[in-house]
Amino acid sequence: MTDAKSSLGDILKEIRNRNRWTLAEVSSMTGLAVSTLSKVENNQMQLTYDRLIQLAQGLKVDIVELFGTTAGAEEAPSMLGRRTYTRSGDGREIITQNYDYLYVCTEISKKSMVPIVAVARARTLEEFGPLIRHKGEEFFYVIEGELELHTEIYAPLRLKKGDSCYFDAMTGHAYLSVSEEPAQILCVCSTPETELVSTLANAQTTKLTS
C-alpha cells in the first residue's frame, strides 16, 4: 500500500503489482510506451496532465488515485493536530496546456484547503478554452508577473505582483498571463481535493477533444 508521501511512480507500481500486470500489459491498456512507464515508476519522468488522464482511463481508476488520494476520502472525519510542509523544489508537479501546477503539502488528505503554486500559460480566452468552475471558494496571490482574471460575471481584473483576489469558484474563471514572462501565483481552493483534481482533469479533456 502506498503512503501519503508516495510519488506517482510509487502509486503506479502499487496499482500494477496489486493487479499483477506487467509493464507491457499496462502499456497495451494505456497506450503509453513501456519505456515511459518504466521511467515514471523509477521517478525519472513526470507525466503531463493529458498523459495522466490517458493513464487513469487505461487503468480504469479515478485520476485522484494517481495523486495519492482516494475518491470519497473527504467524507471521513478529520484528525486534529495535523501538520505538514513542503521544501523548496518538492511537491507534485502537473503540467497542463493552461497551467503548470505544483501541488504542495500533499501528505495530508481530507484537507479543508488545497494549496497550489501555479504558472499561467494561456494569454487569450481562445487559447484557454472553456472557463473552469468548481465548488468552494478560491484565493490567489500574484507571486511574479502580471495576469488578468476573467470571470463570467465581472469585467477582466488585471493584477500585478503582490496583488490578490478572493472569489466564488462556482463562477466560471480563467487566469491569463499578460506580462512578458508567464505569471506565477499562489492559489488556495476550499474545494475537496478529489473534486478539484477531477474538475481540472475534465476541463483538460474537454479542451483536448474540442
Kindly report, residue by residue over 89-141, the tens digit of the pLDDT.
888 888 888 999 998 988 777 788 999 999 999 999 999 999 999 989 999 99
Divide the 210 residues of the chain into consecutive groups of 10 and give the mean pLDDT of each group: 67 93 95 95 85 87 71 50 87 86 83 92 96 94 98 97 97 97 96 75 54
Which residues, listed in sequence order, are joined to residue 177 by a DSSP beta bridge?
Answer: 147
For the chain, give the longest Cα–Cα distance.
53
Residue owning grid cell 482511463: 57
Distance CA 157, CA 66 (A): 34
pTM (two decimals): 0.71
Helix (H) or strand (E) holding 43: none
Distance CA 57, CA 193 (A): 19
Q: CA separation (Å) from 89 to 24, 33, 117?
A: 32, 28, 11
Q: How many degrees, rounded to 5, is the angle at CA 142 between CA 138 and CA 145?
A: 140
Q: CA separation (Å) from 189 to 5, 34, 61, 67, 124?
A: 21, 36, 24, 16, 23
